[in-house]
A and B are shown apart, each in its own frame.
Chain A
Amino acid sequence: MPLEARPAPARFEGDFATWLCGHGVPADAALARAVAIHANNALAAATAALAGNYPVLRAALGDAAFAALARRHARAHPPADPRLCLYGRGLPRLVARTAELAAWPWLADLARLEWLVVEALFAAPPPRRPRRLHPDRPWPLAAATRWLASPFPVNSLWQAHQPGARWPRRFPRQGELALVSRPAAGVVVSCLPAAALPLLLALRRRVPLGHLAAAELAHLPALAAAGALVPAIGDG
């Protein structure tokens, strides 16, 4: 496909975009090579961002399999935001839909947990002034707080893939409720009892403290200790 002598910017962009997507090739061989270099640069940047955001999934799959998965995702869902540190939200869905990975059904939840870690890493800091607790008001979750209730031992799997972690002799046979919080300088993943889920859901609905059931209130200290709630006077 030849270019016009003086193409309007929109026309040129349209032609170039077509080539970048692999639909058609410029007639000029040098231009074709340049398009291939730009396409490769773009793909490499997107897949590198996915590798940075999903280190546990990468460790679980191995470099080659992860790279193939990342390329598939980057081609189907290229980044729309130049902030590549926030690229890859949809990767867990691709993991869940990939037939070749069906034998490892926990991988999609492992990826979901990793994405929650990314979200927590870049979430807003808690307010500087501690909140005064009152029965008629909710105790807000910290902006970084996330959780994943999984039918798989997703917290144990995540912990086992951390640098320097010891591989457990066996993983729990039941599902786990993984909590993602940012108590101080870093993101922490921990495990909560499944019975804490109603409390998390109630806090997300901003249910006032005085309306929480006793069984729910019992889990508040653990959440406060994990930094999952905004700082409050008297929460220690």
Chain B
Amino acid sequence: MGLGAGIGLRLPHLAALAAGDPPAPPPGLWFEVHAENFMVAGGPRLEALMAVAARSPVALHGVGLALAGTCPAPARHLGQLRRLCDRIGPVLLSDHLAWQRIDGGRWHVPDFLPFPRTRAALALCIANVHRAQDGLGRRLLIENPSHYADVGGHDLPEHEFLAELALASGCGLLVDVNNIHVSAHNLGLDAGLLIDCLPGDLIGEIHVAGHRADAGSPLLIDSHDAPVAAPVWALAARLLARIGPRPIMVERDGELPALADLLAEAHQAAALLEPAALLEPAGAA
């Protein structure tokens, strides 16, 4: 069976899943981990992931390639990621459309920083994705970012930027629907329209996640520390109804619930892939 609904596999659940399959998994269950947590020489954490990967599909989601930056990840980092890919055999490999490295790489900002989507930035991203894919020997999926303000100076809307990047570099797209919801709220845009503009043929994976309100402003924060919100489920259903089934993953990083609760959300995601849901998505505007 192909990839259905997955969950982000975080360290507190790793030992349990390394020991055996979860009860009553959704169809096509798969797992996604943050690659950097396992880019190490050895040890029990890596061995546990390899045990999971021996039984179940595992995707690697990188947080360190800095693909939109003038200082992308060094060759050493690419080599470490490639070795992990060789060990795990990921079913999907992804990272973010962001820059992260400051002062020649002396500060790797553990967040995803925005940039003006200029033609120059597009050329930089294409070169960086080419370099990363060549170094990794694999196709990447690139994730759309969350926005907290419009930095301005754009030549291209985000969906066109992503489409041109994918067509020029051969990468695919990972659409984080929560990021679109958060960005639309924060920038005063129509989330449904943003979803409808995405190039469906290029989308290889979908993320859904939770968010929270910013304490100091009307903004929403892409926090991954709450259950997936109803508007995000509706946007995911709308996207899937247009483009057809894709691997979809419930991403949770903070306030991690019990594995059973995460799997319940994965069941909810799996339901979106059923023919009935694809033909008539509930809540789609």
Binding site for B on A (CB under 8 A): 3-10, 12-13, 16-17, 20, 28, 30-31, 33-34, 36-38, 41-42, 45-46, 49, 78-86, 120-125, 143-144, 182, 185-186
Interchain CB contact (< 8 A) of A7 among B69, B111, B116: B116
Contacts of B108 in A (CB 8 A): 78-82
Contacts of A121 in B (CB 8 A): 43-45
By the criterion CB–CB under 8 Å, are B149 and A33 in contact?
yes
By the criterion CB–CB under 8 Å, are B70 and A13 in contact?
yes
Q: Which residue of B lies closest to A184 (CB)?
A: B44
CA distance A49 to B110 in the complex (A): 10
CA distance A13 to B219 in the complex (A): 23
By the criterion CB–CB under 8 Å, are A28 and B149 in contact?
yes
By the criterion CB–CB under 8 Å, are A37 and B148 in contact?
yes
| A-B CB contact pairs (8 Å), 23 listed | A3-B152, A5-B152, A5-B153, A6-B153, A7-B116, A9-B99, A9-B121, A13-B70, A13-B99, A33-B149, A34-B219, A41-B111, A42-B110, A45-B111, A83-B80, A84-B110, A122-B40, A124-B41, A124-B42, A125-B41, A125-B42, A125-B47, A144-B43
- Nearest Cβ distance between residue A146 and chain B, in whole angstroms? 13
Q: Which residue of B lies closest to A18 (CB)?
A: B102
A5-B152, A33-B148 given; name 10 further pairs at CB < 8 Å: A13-B69, A20-B102, A33-B214, A33-B217, A38-B113, A41-B110, A45-B111, A82-B108, A144-B43, A185-B47
By the criterion CB–CB under 8 Å, are B107 and A78 in contact?
yes
By the criterion CB–CB under 8 Å, are B113 and A16 in contact?
yes
Within 8 Å of chain A (Cβ to Cβ): is B221? yes
Interface size counted on chain B using CB atoms at 8 A: 52
Interchain CB contact (< 8 A) of A9 among B62, B105, B115: B115
Q: Which residue of A lies closest to B115 (CB)?
A: A12
Q: A6 with B41: in contact, given A78-B107, A80-B105, A80-B108 (CB under 8 Å)?
A: no
CA distance A13 to B221 in the complex (A): 22
By the criterion CB–CB under 8 Å, are A186 and B44 in contact?
yes
By the criterion CB–CB under 8 Å, are A122 and B43 in contact?
yes
Interchain CB contact (< 8 A) of B151 among A31, A86, A122: A31
Contacts of A4 in B (CB 8 A): 153
Q: Which residue of A lies closest to B152 (CB)?
A: A3
By the criterion CB–CB under 8 Å, are B36 and A34 in contact?
no
Q: A82 with B73: in contact, given A46-B110, A121-B44, A124-B41 (CB under 8 Å)?
A: yes
Contacts of A144 in B (CB 8 A): 43
By the criterion CB–CB under 8 Å, are A82 and B77 in contact?
yes
Q: Which residue of B lies closest to A2 (CB)?
A: B152
CA distance A45 to B107 in the complex (A): 13
Within 8 Å of chain A (Cβ to Cβ): is B118? yes
Interchain CB contact (< 8 A) of B41 among A80, A122, A186: A122
Q: Which residue of A lies closest to B71 (CB)?
A: A13
Within 8 Å of chain A (Cβ to Cβ): is B216? yes
Contact mask for chain B residues 98-132; partner A; CB cutoff 8 A; 1 contact, 0 none: 01101101111111011110101100100000000
Within 8 Å of chain A (Cβ to Cβ): is B279? no
CB contacts under 8 Å to A, within B9-49, are: 36-37, 39-47
Q: A3 with B151: in contact, given A83-B36, A122-B42 (CB under 8 Å)?
A: yes
By the criterion CB–CB under 8 Å, are B36 and A84 in contact?
yes
CA distance A123 to B217 in the complex (A): 44
By the criterion CB–CB under 8 Å, are B103 and A17 in contact?
yes
Contacts of A6 in B (CB 8 A): 116, 118, 153, 155
Within 8 Å of chain A (Cβ to Cβ): is B64? yes
CA distance A77 to B247 in the complex (A): 38
Q: A123 with B149: in contact, given A9-B115, A41-B111, A82-B63 (CB under 8 Å)?
A: no
Best-surrounded residue of B40, B43, B105 (most CB of chain A within 10 A): B43
By the criterion CB–CB under 8 Å, are B111 and A182 in contact?
no
By the criterion CB–CB under 8 Å, are A8 and B106 in contact?
no
